[in-house]
Amino acid sequence: MNLDLNTLRAEYEQYKSSGLKLDMSRGKPSTQQLDTMERLLTAVTTREECISENGVDCCNYGGLDGIDESKRLFASMLGLTMHEIIVGGNSSLNLMYDTIARAMSHGVVDGMKPWAKYDKVSFLCPVPGYDRHFAICEYFNINMINVPMNEDGPDMDIVEKLVAEDETIKGIWCVPKYSNPSGITYSDETVRRFARMKTAAKDFRVFWDNAYVWHDLTDHPDYLLEVLHEAKKCGNEDRFFIFASTSKISFPGAGISCIASSRANVQRILKELAIQTVGPDKLNQLRHARVFRTFDDIKAQMGVHLSLIKPKFELVRRVFTNELSGIPEVWWTNPNGGYFLALYTPKGKAKRVVALAAEAGLKLTPAGATHPYGYNPDDNIIRIAPTYPSLDELGKALPVLCCCVKLACAE
């Protein structure tokens, strides 16, 4: 592996002058992927078609929990029942934000204080993790505590110890399947430990962001144990707020989302939603339910996405293997699904790589974004989001990225 500084500098300057301009900072589906969902645009085109299976006119007011068709769809996707589901609008992030906002102002357990009334509220944040989760905590002044991720999920010895001892810990962020950004899926044992662990705070909640529940990249996908069933066995079903969406199944900007939880939590949330809104956009829920009549329709669509995304992840691996193999401390994750992989650099080099890439016209996710407060003390992780660029663009961008990694290592 040639890490001669002068050679790399010359190579880098050449890339810099080549006029590359590409944004790989977010996990966005490509235009081509969206094109495969065109039929959603004509799923409901007449007023007659606007009536749900229960006779609800989806154009008019009413219905806080969403229409039955869309509840059934999410229930089948998540392995839950309809009464454990509330279907919302186009942003599951908004559902997560709302859930935290309500917890802050009104708490999550009848008779207990709103979180904002405690002197200190803390969240466990498995790292590397998702910057938008951390941003919500930061906005609400929730103290974030890093927890390391292992190959089978967050380090549960640490999680169990902390939540058992520290009453200020009210929650934890989880992306249990194809975790953002490393692509790890929680093992059955990790899921079971979440379900049964003892928490000092009686109003402790797990924010289970199942964003990539069916977003496989291989024919041998990961399996995630359904957590609410496990929790019920331990009487802890109120502990879990589960989130999912069709953002990366249909349209990211115009999909539908859901929050799932115990019956008691669903009833509690619906009472609060009655204050908050006149209800979700039922018409868009109906469009989705008409296009995705069963879970099999979802799986078929995910197969289409897989065919478009898989070559991009394969290209990343091929180029990384060719260009970066053998550089000390440089390695990358190899997920079976999701939208990201994590590229590890030597300590103290990730920010430099991102800066070099930006200067060469390649925008990456900021290097600290994988950690609370945007601060990775090791400065060694870069989130790679290969889905949005075309294969051709990716083919041009990856050598630039690799050059930046090598140059940063050589410097």
CB of 27 to its own copies, least distance (A): 9
Q: Interface with its own copies includes 45 (CB under 8 A)?
A: yes
* Per-residue b or e along 140-149, where b marks 16 or more CB atoms closer than 10 Å to that residue's CB: bebebbbbeb
Please pick, from the candidates 3, 101, 315, 391, the single residue that binds its own copies as defined by CB under 8 A. Answer: 101
- Interface pattern 104-133 for its own copies (x via CB under 8 A): xxx---------x---------------x-
Contact 98, 280 (CB under 8 A): no
Please pick, from the candidates 2, 38, 55, 219, the single residue that binds its own copies as defined by CB under 8 A. Answer: 38
**Residue 61 vs 392, nearer CB to its own copies:** 61
**Residue 97 vs 331, nearer CB to its own copies:** 97
**Residue 282 vs 349, nearer CB to its own copies:** 282
Q: What is the DSSP letter of 342?
A: E
Question: Binders of its own copies: how many residues, by CB under 8 A?
Answer: 56
Collapsing DSSP to helix, strand or coil, 122 comes out as strand
- Interface pattern 262-291 for its own copies (x via CB under 8 A): ----------x-xxxxxxxxxxx-------
Footprint (CB under 8 A) of its own copies, residues 294-313: none
**Residue 110 vs 275, nearer CB to its own copies:** 275
Count of helices and strands (H, E) across the chain = 13, 13
CB of 69 to its own copies, least distance (A): 15
Q: Interface with its own copies includes 261 (CB under 8 A)?
A: no
Task: Supply 212's token pair.
Answer: 């990539």
Backbone angles phi, psi at 268, to 5 degrees: -60, -45
Helices 295-324, 391-410: axis angle to 10 degrees equals 40
Q: Which stretch binds its own copies (CB under 8 A): 157-165, 222-230, 231-239, 251-259?
A: 251-259
Verify cis geometry, omega within 30 degrees of 0, for the bond prior to 128.
yes
CB of 79 to its own copies, least distance (A): 25
Q: Interface with its own copies includes 50 (CB under 8 A)?
A: yes
Q: What are the distances in angstroms from CA 193 to CA 133, 167, 259?
A: 22, 18, 22
Neighbours of 382 (CB within 10 A): 29
Collapsing DSSP to helix, strand or coil, 222 comes out as coil
